[in-house]
Amino acid sequence: MKRIRKNLLIVNLITMLFFASTEIVESILPFFLVTYLGASMLIVGIIEGFSEGFSNFLKIVGGYFSDFKRRKRIVVFGLISFMFSSVSLFFVKRWSDLILSIVLKDISEGSLIPAKDYILSSSYKIKKAEIFSLNRIFENAGEFLGVFIVFLYSMFFMNYSIYYLFFVSLLFSTFALLIFLNFREKRLVRSPKKSISWKILYPNYLLLFSIFSFINFGYSFYILKVYSQTESVSASLGFYLVFSIILIVGTFFSAKLFDKIGESKFLEITFLTFFISHILFILLPVAGFLSVAVADAMFEIGIWGTLGNKIKYRQGFVFGAYHFLIGITSLLSGVFLGYIWDVFGSDVPFWIGAVISIFGYLVLKYLFRR
C-alpha cells in the first residue's frame, strides 16, 4: 500500500510538471503563430487539430503497449521525446518549422498519457473517479503554472526573446524525468489477452464523447476570442490564469458530483454547461471563457470517470482508443471551425457549438432512456 501511494504521488508530480511544460508552449503558441509567424486562423485550426489528432492516434499505440510492456519505460520515452520537442522550438522561423516539434510532442503525449492512465486505473479497484480527479487536479495545477509563467513573461519580459519560454519548458520536462526515475514498478501486470471488439469500446460512449470533443474547442479558439475583445496579450493570459484556477476547483467538485448523481445526469449537465458557455462566448467572451472552464472540467471527469468504472480489461488499449477518438474529432473541429472563423467571423463557430451541444443532449437522453 505504501509503495502504491508513493507511485501515485510520483505519477501526479510528473503529471503536473509535464503539463506545466506543455502549457508554456501551448498558451503562447496562438500568439506566436498569429503575431510572430503570420499564420491565419485556418492554419491555427489545422495545426491545433493535427496535433490533437496525431497525438491521440499515437495513444492507441501507446495504450496497446501499456497493456503488455513496462509502463515506466513508456513514460520515460515520452518525457525524453518532449525534451527533444522543446529543443526543436529554438530553430522555428516559419510556421511550417513547427511540424517537427509538434510530431515529437505528439509522440510524447501518445506514449506517456495512456501509460499514466493505466497506472492510475490499476492502482486501486475502487474510487476510480477520485483517483482520476486528483490526477486531473495536478494536471490543471501544472497548466496553471505554465500559464502563470507565460503571463509573467507577457507582463515584464516582452522585450526578451520568446525562446526563453521554450527553455523553461525544457527545464520542467527534465525535472519530471528526474523525478520519475524514482518510480518503482515491482512487476509487470499484463492485461488478459482477450480479443478486441466493439463491445469493449462501448459504442454509445464513443458517439457521446465524440460530440463532446467536437464542442470542446481547442484553447487557441478560446484565447483568441478573448483576445479579440481585450486586444491585449497580457489581459488574455490573465483571464487564462483565472480559467486555470476555475478548472482546478471545477475538477474537484465535478468528481464529487459525478459520484453523487451518476454518469447519466452528470453528462446531461455537462452538455447544458457547454451550451451556456458557447452562448456567453458570443455575448460576453470573457464570461464564456470562464464558464467553459467548468464545462471542460466536467467533460474530463465525465469521460475518464465513466471509463475508469467500466473498463475491465485491455485498459491501455481502450484508454488509447478514446484518446484517439477525442483527437480525430478535435482535428475535424479545428479545421472546420478555423475555416468558419476566417470566412464568417468569430461568432459563428460558437453558434455551431451551441446547436451541437443541444443535439448532444438529445442524443444522450435517447441513449439513456428507460
Which tens digits make up the pLDDT trace of 264-323?
A: 888 889 999 999 999 999 999 889 889 988 998 888 787 766 766 666 555 666 766 777
Nine-digit cell at 163?
525562446
Per-residue pLDDT tens for 343-364? 888 899 999 999 999 998 998 8
188 falls within a domain: no
One-letter amino acid at 244 equals S
In the numeric block, the cell 495504450 is attached to 63
Host domain of residue 284: 2-182+201-367
Cell 490499476, residue? 122
In a domain, 31, yes or no: yes
pLDDT greater than 80 at residue 167: yes
| CA-angle at 294, arms to 286 and 116, nearest 5° | 125
Note the pLDDT of residue 158: 66
The predicted-structure confidence for 170-227, as pLDDT tens digits, reads as follows: 899 899 899 888 777 655 455 455 455 545 566 677 777 788 888 888 777 888 888 8
51 in a domain, yes or no? yes
Per-residue pLDDT, averaged over 121-125, amounts to 62
Is pLDDT of 42 > 80? no
Cβ–Cβ < 8 Å for 301, 136: yes
The answer as to whether 195 is a domain residue is no
* pLDDT for position 49: 67
Mean of the per-residue pLDDT values of the chain: 79
pLDDT above 90 coverage of the chain, percent: 10
- Asked if residue 189 belongs to a domain, the reply is no
Report how far residue 72's alpha carbon sits from residue 149's, in angstroms, rounded to the nearest whole number: 29
Which is it for the CA torsion 177, 144, 116, 86, positive or negative?
A: negative
- Whole-structure pTM value: 0.66
**What is the CATH number for 274?**
1.20.1250.20
pLDDT band at 131 (very low <50, low <70, confident <90, very high): confident
CB-based contacts of 352-357 (< 8 A; 24+ apart in sequence): 353/215, 353/217, 353/274, 353/278, 353/281, 354/275, 354/278, 354/279, 354/282, 356/211, 356/214, 356/215, 357/215, 357/271, 357/272, 357/274, 357/275, 357/278
Say if 50 falls within a structural domain.
yes
Residue 172 in any domain: the answer is yes
Q: What CA–CA distance (Å, rounded) separates 337 from 333?
A: 6
3-to-73, 137, 183, 186, 283 alpha-carbon distances in Å: 18, 21, 9, 9, 51
- Tell whether 56 is covered by a domain: yes
Task: Specify the number of domains making up the chain.
Answer: 1
